[in-house]
Amino acid sequence: MQRFKLTIEYDGRPFVGWQRQKNGPSAQAVIEDAFQKFAPGETVKVTGSGRTDAGVHALGQVAHLDLERDMTADQLQGALNYHMQPRGSVSIVKAEAVHADFNARFDAVKRHYVYRIANRRAPLTFDQGLKWHVKTQLDHEAMHEAAQVLVGQHDFTTFRHVACQAKSPVKTMDYLRVEREGDEVRLYAGARSFLHHQIRSITGTLKLVGEGNWTKADVQAALDARDRQALGFNAPPDGLYFKHVEFDT
Amino acid sequence: MQRFKLTIEYDGRPFVGWQRQKNGPSAQAVIEDAFQKFAPGETVKVTGSGRTDAGVHALGQVAHLDLERDMTADQLQGALNYHMQPRGSVSIVKAEAVHADFNARFDAVKRHYVYRIANRRAPLTFDQGLKWHVKTQLDHEAMHEAAQVLVGQHDFTTFRHVACQAKSPVKTMDYLRVEREGDEVRLYAGARSFLHHQIRSITGTLKLVGEGNWTKADVQAALDARDRQALGFNAPPDGLYFKHVEFDT
């Protein structure tokens, strides 16, 4: 048996999320179903570093799987990419043979996300479903400044979906950076792990700051409230990308 | 009567090109048809700075049109953006009232294009139809170097579609730059005007250089041949974007 590490890109628009679910297509199912096409009868379980919600994208999701059959990493990558349907939904950008004790979920020590906002009046063309469309001119510097309130270890109950299954609402945010490039505003976030909807909740709240409706003190008060009702706004999944994962190896 | 200048972005994937044609949808027709929806019975003609082929995109196509009815530029932009179908194909990013003698086609003194190549082995997801997928590792510096052969005034017969309707094959290329950003290779091109398929023909030929199959001398020889048969390769429309237009104002 050989374990492989896969680095995976996917366009989240057609998916109910990363994880296989009964109510619709998922990135995980696309990969597992592709495997069935070149190894009929064999089943494989693909374990990801993190779940992503419906409509959320990945540039560098990482997963592991075990193969009984004799294949090189290059062969596995080629075969999966050849068989995945629909074409253009998921792409294995890298495949590596790894030790049998490598675990994409439990060995991940840092997860990095980026949230992309198209900040312009005109409707989106290329970026529909790929960025959050915010028409009000955003003050990205004020957003960055207010975001620093959330860096470090905090009880993020306010920024957590009510259905979040994590045992504790306490998380450590390693960094939050808000930058502008032309009419795109990007929020970069890194942490060992995140709560359900945490980045979208933070982004939605910082948007209120960028529009001038909230201050840094309001963000602090929302955090201190430890109450989901204190949340400013929850951003849509469109602009969220699981960017890359760091491992302790 | 008031003349307006429109700056237009479109995703070329659903279109037979910029120009209205009988065999399918075009960006020009989407705009003209949107006008019909808020001004029933009136017709308007939208004149673009340049034609683009089927599947070619625009970030900053410029066009002009004349209105009999009383509308501000903001109202026109809003109404067009509201009515254009299908949503996400065309976006009016700017509308300005201009003098009646402004002509988007004849006053354009410089047209700028960018050609985007996704240079990686893995299949494309987000960028299907939006970049040319080239799997061989490209030497972008060799491409840039070879491209300089084509800068300046030349007879571009080799780099011209057989159906090109321009009177002369002689054009002046103001600049050609090839740059890499991660796994994306971009060719930037600027000139007063271009021949039909000129940038795609140049890009396809430079790809041969990037792969190591052609040298700078081969590009020179192809140019000197003044013969379409001497062309290296014609790149697909996927990666081509009409970037912006300069006017002599």
User: Which CATH class for the A108-247 domain?
Assistant: alpha beta
Q: Is B223 in the A-facing interface, judged by CB distances under 8 Å? A: no
For chain B, 249 residues long, give each residue's pLDDT as a single digit of tens.
899 999 999 999 999 999 999 999 999 999 999 999 988 888 899 999 999 999 999 999 999 999 988 999 999 999 999 999 988 899 999 999 999 999 999 999 999 999 999 999 999 999 999 999 999 999 999 999 999 999 999 999 999 998 888 899 999 999 999 999 999 999 999 999 999 999 999 999 999 999 999 999 999 999 999 999 989 889 999 999 999 999 986
In A, minimum Cα distance to B57 occurs at: A126
CA-nearest of B74, B55, B64, B75 to B10 is B55
Inter-chain CB proximity B81 and A11 less than 8 Å: no
What residues does each domain of chain B span?
Answer: 2-98, 109-247
Task: Note the ipTM here.
Answer: 0.91
Residue of B nearest to A78 (CA): B122
CA separation for the pair B220, B149 (Å, rounded): 6
Candidate from A11, A93, A125 with C-beta closest to B10: A125
pLDDT at A232: 84
A173-212 pLDDT per residue, tens: 999 999 999 999 999 999 999 999 999 999 999 999 999 9
Identical fold at B2-98 and B109-247?
Answer: yes
What does the pLDDT read at residue B93? 97
- Of the candidates A123, A124, A126, the beta carbon closest to that of B130 is on A126
Q: Is A123 on the interface with B (CB under 8 A)?
A: yes
Contact B126 A130 (CB under 8 A): yes
Give yes or no for residue A248 having a pLDDT over 90.
no
CB pairs under 8 A between A and B: 56
Q: How many CB atoms lie within 10 A of CB B212?
A: 12
Distance CA B89, CA B71 (A): 24
Terminal-residue alpha carbon distance, chain B? 21
Structure tokens at A107: 């060995």
pLDDT given at position B43: 86
* Residue closest to A12 by CA, chosen among A62, A57, A61, A59: A57
Residue of chain A whose alpha carbon sits nearest to that of B78: A122
CA distance B187 to B194: 15
Phi and psi torsions of A160, nearest 5° = -135, 135
pTM for this structure?
0.93
Verify whether the Cβ–Cβ distance A77 to B11 is below 8 Å: no
Give B-chain residues touching A57 at CB under 8 angstroms: 126
- Chain A residues whose CB is inside 8 A of the B9 CB are 122, 125-126
Cβ of A122 within 8 Å of Cβ of B9? The answer is: yes
Can you give the pLDDT at residue A171? 96
d(CA A132, CA A128): 8
Contacts with A, B 71-100, CB within 8 Å: 77, 81, 84, 87-94
How far apart are alpha carbons A7 and A18 in whole angstroms? 13
CB contact under 8 Å between B124 and A91, yes or no, is yes
The amino acid present at B244, given as its one-letter code, is H
Nearest CA among B151, B146, B197 for reference residue B176: B151
| Nearest chain A alpha carbon to B95 | A122
What pLDDT, on the 0 to 100 scale, is given for residue A162? Answer: 86
**pLDDT-based confidence at A249, cuts 50/70/90?**
low
Annotated catalytic residue: which of B53, B127, B139, B183?
B53
Assign A122 a pLDDT band (cuts: 50, 70, 90): very high
Do the chains contact at B87 and A128, CB–CB below 8 Å? yes
Active site annotation includes A70: no
CA distance A219 to chain B (A): 33
Q: Assign A130 to helix, strand or coil.
A: coil
Can you spell out the DSSP letters for A65-118?
Answer: EEESS---HHHHHHHHHHH-SSTTSEEEEEEEEE-TT--TTTSEEEEEEEEEEE
The reply to whether B126 touches chain A by the CB within 8 Å rule is yes
Q: Which residues of A touch B123 (CB under 8 A)?
A: 81, 84, 87-88, 91
- pLDDT band, very low/low/confident/very high, at A144 (cuts 50, 70, 90): very high
What ranges make up the beta strands (E) of chain A?
2-10, 47-48, 57-67, 90-98, 108-119, 132-134, 152-155, 170-181, 184-191, 240-247
At the topology level, CATH places domain B2-98 in Alpha-Beta Plaits (3.30.70)
Q: What pLDDT is recorded for position A69?
A: 87
- CA distances for B223 relative to B30, B41, B88, B157, B159, angstroms: 38, 51, 39, 8, 8
- Name the percent of chain A in helix, strand, coil, to the closest 5: 25, 35, 40
Q: Taking CB atoms and an 8 Å limit, are B92 and A11 in contact across chains?
A: no
Range B109-247 classified under CATH 3.20.20.140: no
Record the tokens describing residue A244, joined without a space: 């890359």
Q: Region A105-124: what's the mean pLDDT?
A: 97
Unique residue bearing structure tokens 């700078």: B216
